């Protein structure tokens, strides 16, 4: 379900045809920003190894060539370093240039626009969860539970984000809201374009919400399921990059 693009496809532009106030960024600049901000915010630590290029592409929902070019650009600027050999890979630099990291930040207008996008998803999330509690099949509930297990076993943010996206897409599908599900999936996809790498320990903690949601859906407890989803999405105001940046300032 991950929106994987072929290398030959035209790279998407972050903010193009999106909510008013979002800046138009090339796909490469968007990846640079998302990784740079994660480093600035301490979510990616000096010396930390990044997933391989393909995993970075899948985790950030971009093409492999976009991920490769973004990482190459960050390496040229000293934000990350590349090492060869069996223990090689791409690592966060021990001392990334502060002036480069300062350039890799979201504008206030962009942060405000993403906050509005979170609000839009919050509205849809409560609606699809309500109807998923009524309409979800046993097979869909089993698949949702399987995804929570995979997220619990994830060892990096890339794999977790991919399973997380599949989980929420399936909740939407289970609602049986027909064309409204397409709108929900579009909103979900827009928001995923702004997710940044996060420590796996914190993502595992977030997965507790998924486990609680599946239990509420199995019990057909509409009120509890909606409340779990509401809290799960509402916290994005404080845990996505715009909330973290504002707190840092």
Whether the Cβ atoms of residue 198 and residue 37 lie closer than 8 Å to each other: no
Confidence of residue 243 (pLDDT cuts 50, 70, 90): low
Q: Which residues contact 104 (CB under 8 A, 6 or more apart)?
A: 32, 33, 35, 36, 37, 40, 79
**Cα separation of 10 and 7, whole Å?**
8
Please provide the average confidence, as pLDDT, over all residues in the chain.
Answer: 87
The percentage of residues in the chain with a pLDDT greater than 70, rounded to a whole number, is 87
Q: Which residues contact 111 (CB under 8 A, 6 or more apart)?
A: 241, 242, 245, 246
**Cα separation of 235 and 229, whole Å?**
10
Per-residue model confidence as pLDDT tens digits over 57-113? 999 989 999 999 999 999 999 999 998 877 789 999 999 999 999 998 888 888 888
pTM (predicted TM-score) = 0.84
């Amino acid at each position: 379900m991950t929106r994987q693009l072929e290398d030959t496809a035209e790279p998407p532009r972050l903010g193009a045809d999106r909510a008013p106030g979002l800046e138009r960024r090339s796909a490469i600049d968007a990846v640079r920003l998302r990784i740079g901000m994660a480093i600035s915010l301490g979510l990616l630590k000096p010396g930390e190894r990044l997933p391989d290029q393909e995993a970075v592409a899948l985790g950030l929902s971009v093409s492999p060539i976009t991920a490769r070019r973004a990482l190459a650009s960050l390496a040229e600027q000293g934000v990350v370093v590349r090492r060869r050999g069996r223990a090689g890979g791409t690592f966060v630099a021990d001392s990334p240039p502060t002036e480069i990291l300062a350039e890799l930040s979201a504008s206030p207008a962009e942060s405000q626009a993403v906050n509005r996008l979170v609000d839009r998803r919050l509205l849809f999330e409560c609606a699809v969860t309500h109807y998923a509690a009524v309409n979800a099949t046993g097979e869909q509930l089993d698949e949702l539970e399987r995804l929570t297990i995979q997220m619990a076993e994830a060892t990096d943010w890339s794999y977790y984000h991919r399973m997380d996206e599949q989980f929420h897409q399936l909740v939407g599908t289970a609602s049986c809201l027909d064309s409204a599900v397409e709108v929900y999936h579009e909103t979900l996809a827009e928001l995923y374009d702004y997710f940044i790498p996060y420590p796996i320990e914190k993502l595992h903690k977030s997965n507790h919400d998924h486990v609680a949601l599946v239990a509420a859906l199995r019990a057909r407890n509409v009120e509890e399921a909606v409340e779990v989803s509401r809290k799960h999405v509402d916290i994005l105001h404080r845990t996505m990059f715009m909330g973290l940046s504002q707190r840092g300032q």
